[in-house]
Amino acid sequence: MKLRIGLGSCGIAAGALKAKEAVEAEIKSRGLDIEVCQTGCIGMCHNEPLVDVIEDDGRVFTYGMVTPEIVGRIFDSHIAEKKPLEEYLVASPDKPNLFLRGQVKVALRNCGVIDPESVEEYISRDGYEALKKCLTELTPPEVIEEIKTSGLRGRGGAGFPTWFKWNATRKASGDVKYIVCNADEGDPGAFMDRSILEGDPHGVLEGMIIAGYATGAREGIVYCRAEYPLAIRRLEAAISQGREKGYLGCNIFGTDFSFDINLKQGAGAFVCGEETALLASIEGERGMPRLKPPFPSDSGYWGKPTNINNVETYVNVPWIIREGGTAFAAMGTERSKGTKVFALAGKIQRGGLIEVPMGITLREIIFEVGGGIKGDGEFKAVQMGGPSGGCIPAHHLDTPIDYESITSLGAIMGSGGMVVMDESTCMVDIARYFLDFTQKESCGKCVQCRLGTKRMLEILERISRGEGRPGDLDLLEEICITVRDGSLCGLGQGAPNPILTTLSYFREEYEAHINEKKCPAKQCRNLISYRIDPEKCRGCTVCSQKCPVQCISGDKGRAHSIDQSLCTKCGNCMEVCKFSAVYVD
């Protein structure tokens, strides 16, 4: 028997380290000989901390929301009496998990399964076999042809054909070439790359080494944001292990191919997700986009031919080489092959990381895999593609997930972030939130982005305060088009998308803010007020005790009232009222 504990960032944040300490204490106090190992995130972030009990016959029983107190009960029931503790069991051979059931794991095949800090465990699951196959059986053009057959498109946002970029770098003149992994994941609500790096770093490294062989490069660089300390630690360990085992360095697998990988930590600038800004940052310059052409495949890192893909793209490569490009192409749609990893966040029952075949609908992801809307709310929209993406409304829920279909709705696939919203979400405020992010993250190089995002944000803030003016929406759309069409890089070009999609699908909310001075979702503070229903109020005084500005008055046992001139609209009164007497007007 073996115990496996999920120690990704989500698990650690939920208390997995305390659960691990409790597990080790129980083993010691009971005098048991049970191995305890770590793993990354399997995707069920909503059930963290997770502990797997792996029987001698290989059967896996997964327990969710495991606190130190629950650990003792698991040992009493499952370990001592061989009776699974059904109350906390989220998955078992006889109890399929609804969250995992509809998924197909390719990029996430090892996440939540292996110890990410053990190269031996990666090897035990056919790790580095794809690299060996490439070096001993395939020529570089044949490797690229296999990637072409697979139909793999870049998973970082634009969906550019991976084989084409590899081939362009291979054909570029010059003896020195580079492979770069873009791990600068900066979208709010996105954590796909982080989880892969934390759960399967060797998979990413193997994909990069194969790309190096296919393109003629001899050096790779992983550009990872410094805000991912656990991912960086595990990457460093994997690189060190790769060198010790001979998968990195000179004469890999006894051939004349040599390749090494180094790690570069980024400072967390969102614009460095753009490949030319990323290259500038690696070179020690301020991360600012460059004009294209020339493209990185011709003139990239230090002016040398450079291939850039993101984490998810590279981690797919070993699977494709081992299983064949046709196996990957058999999944998905005609133009969007394979699977895609998404980060489900927001008002969703089962938030976390999922991997599904391309072509699945938004409805299937949100209501079947994700379990629907959290609480009693109704689905309103889903933001796809982060700050450069757009909001997709309920009447487009049956849209299939592929690059072209999502783009046709005004959003983008992006790296895979999905923020689910219910009817309590103000779409004007959502547009303001994302634009505030992109405006702050603008590098300022081009006028359209530097000034245009600022002007758009000012208009949105004015509308949110109830100070919107006639003509604001026309002006907003005009600036959006100017910024979209005139900006140098994807940050500026995509910044208007949240505004344009919310204007297209939820224009009546904007008009209500401007014409009626009301927020239909009752979220914009300047347009709402908290009031107490005298028929429901019992005069318990709890709300007045919790009010930070003492704006609630009334005698005990009698209905209370709120002084609107003092109220800061913090919402504490509504949260603590047990009689539903407080409401938003």
Task: Please write the tens of the pLDDT for every residue from 225-260.
Answer: 999 999 999 999 999 999 999 999 999 999 999 999
Q: Is the pLDDT score of 201 beyond 80?
A: yes
Q: Is the pLDDT score of 375 beyond 90?
A: no
Paired tokens of 115: 């110890």
Q: What is the mean pLDDT of the segment spanning 403-421?
A: 92
C-alpha–C-alpha distance, residues 160 and 182, integer Å? 14
In this predicted structure, what is the pLDDT of residue 239?
98
C-alpha–C-alpha distance, residues 325 and 337, integer Å? 10
Task: Please write the tens of the pLDDT for every residue from 518-562.
Answer: 999 999 999 999 999 999 999 999 999 999 999 999 999 999 999
C-alpha–C-alpha distance, residues 274 and 257, integer Å? 30
Q: What is the 3-state secondary structure (H, E, C) of 49-115?
A: CCEEEECCCCCEEEECCCCHHHHHHHHHHHHHHCCCCHHHEEEECCECCHHHHCCCCCCCCCCCCCC
In this predicted structure, what is the pLDDT of residue 189?
81
- Residue 243 C-beta-side C-alpha neighbours within 13 Å: 9
In this predicted structure, what is the pLDDT of residue 301?
97
* pTM to 2 decimal places: 0.94
Q: What is the mean pLDDT of the segment spanning 36-65?
A: 96
Q: Is the pLDDT score of 414 beyond 90?
A: no
Q: How confident is the model at residue 157 (pLDDT cuts 50, 70, 90)?
A: confident
Task: Please write the tens of the pLDDT for every residue from 179-194.
Answer: 999 999 888 888 999 9
300 and 221 in contact (C-beta within 8 Å)?
no
In this predicted structure, what is the pLDDT of residue 415?
83
In this predicted structure, what is the pLDDT of residue 96?
87
Closest CA to 448 of 439, 459, 461, 458: 439
Residues in CB range of 193: below 8 A, 6 or more apart: 183, 185, 231, 310, 311, 312, 415
Q: What is the mean pLDDT of the segment spanning 48-63?
A: 96
In this predicted structure, what is the pLDDT of residue 190?
86
In this predicted structure, what is the pLDDT of residue 248?
98
In this predicted structure, what is the pLDDT of residue 560?
96
Q: Which domains does the chain carry?
A: 2-97 (3.40.30.10), 119-329 (3.40.50.11540), 339-422 (3.10.20.600), 427-516 (1.20.1440.230), 529-584 (3.30.70.20)
Task: Please write the tens of the pLDDT for every residue from 129-140.
Answer: 999 999 999 999
In this predicted structure, what is the pLDDT of residue 49?
98
263 and 257 in contact (C-beta within 8 Å)?
no
- Residue environment code for 281-302, b if the CB has 16+ CB neighbours within 10 A, otherwise e: bbeeeebbbbeeeebbbbbbbe
In this predicted structure, what is the pLDDT of residue 386?
86
Q: Is the pLDDT score of 73 beyond 90?
A: yes
In this predicted structure, what is the pLDDT of residue 566?
94
C-alpha–C-alpha distance, residues 296 and 471, integer Å? 43
